[in-house]
Structure 1
Amino acid sequence: MQTVIAPTLPRVGVLAVVRHEDKFLLVRRGHMPDAGLWGFPGGKVEPGETLLQAAPRELEEETALRATGQAVIDTFESIRHDAQGALAFHYVIIAVRCLLPSGPCPSPQAGDDALEARWFSYADIKALGPLACERLETLAAQVLRAEGVAVSP
């Protein structure tokens, strides 16, 4: 068997998008590049791990909640350069819809690199403004539209 050497960049990351009882589960990031910003739980895909395994694992690490990966919602890139113009990082990010077990809305516990974890309505997400991670509002709106909920621009 031949060993494959993976390139340093780009890396693959996942976001666990959870909507339960009309609210979305978000975490406030503790580390760069989005330290202090609110976004969907997520992180790097580990070697040998499927996207539908990686998203629930990251969700559990950051919120202590267990869910099942259901489907890919969207894919996008996050590319940033440093002050000198050199590539700082390049991620291909896959947003995965995750489903919690039925029942009342559970209380998340922030863990791993999450400073806080809590539930947000879509209106709360829209109000975050500069405290929101890249594409947060867009992904939330995609989920709502897929569920047949009207979303105003």
Structure 2
Amino acid sequence: MEETYGYAIVAVSAFVKKENSVLLVKRGKEPGKNLWAFPGGRVRKGERLVEAVKRELYEETGVEAEPTGIIAVTEVITKTNNHASYHYVILTFAFKEETIHGDPKPGGDVAEAQWVPIQKAIEMPDVVYSVKRILESQKPPLLNVITLE
């Protein structure tokens, strides 16, 4: 049975670059089952965005790193029978290359996790469209994260 929500879900994703490769995961569940994407997922109630992206990165890949800032905001709406079944607002964080620790191994709802050369990732047919767009643009962080208590 497909999950549906009456509101948009805030999610995070991790753009982790090492030399000329990027860390990608193959989704094991919907949405995006069998597609390659950045590690990421939903933000839990009461969880800071930076905490969420670090948690998702570790849960899905076993890799730890420190984020530098947000490089993209993506809105994803998927429809089933002309009705929205998923509506995500995804904040993609870049990470400091010198802080990357660990070798990728799949965890959580991920089927595979690996370093992929950036050009190869752009050319792969089963990479999420928004991921390709981010890889093609290769921008420094757009936004700093400000947390208010």
Tell me the TM-score normalised to structure 2 length: 0.84
Point out where structure 1 has 5 or more consecutive residues left out of the alignment.
1-6, 148-153
- Cα distance, 1:8 vs structure 2: 4.1
Equivalent in the alignment of 2:66: 68
Q: 2:87 aligns with which of 79, 86, 90?
A: 90
Q: Who wins on radius of gyration, i.e. which is larger?
A: 1
- Residues 26 and 37 of structure 2 are in contact (CA less than 8 Å); yes or no, is this contact kept in structure 1? yes
- Cα distance, 1:125 vs structure 2: 0.7
SS in 2 for 1:136: helix
Point out where structure 2 has 5 or more consecutive residues left out of the alignment.
142-149
State the 4+ residue runs in structure 1 displaced beyond 4 angstroms.
Answer: 100-103
* CA distances 1:44-65 after superposition (whole Å, capped 9, x unpaired): 0111222211111100000011
- How many residue pairs align between the two structures? 137
Equivalent in the alignment of 2:8: 10
Residue 102 to residue 133, structure 1, CA distance change in 2 (3 Å): same
- Residues 56 and 98 of structure 1 are in contact (CA less than 8 Å); yes or no, is this contact kept in structure 2? no
- Cα distance, 1:118 vs structure 2: 0.4
1:80 and 2:75 matched: no
Equivalent in the alignment of 1:146: 140
Equivalent in the alignment of 1:121: 117
- Cα distance, 1:33 vs structure 2: 1.3
Equivalent in the alignment of 1:137: 132
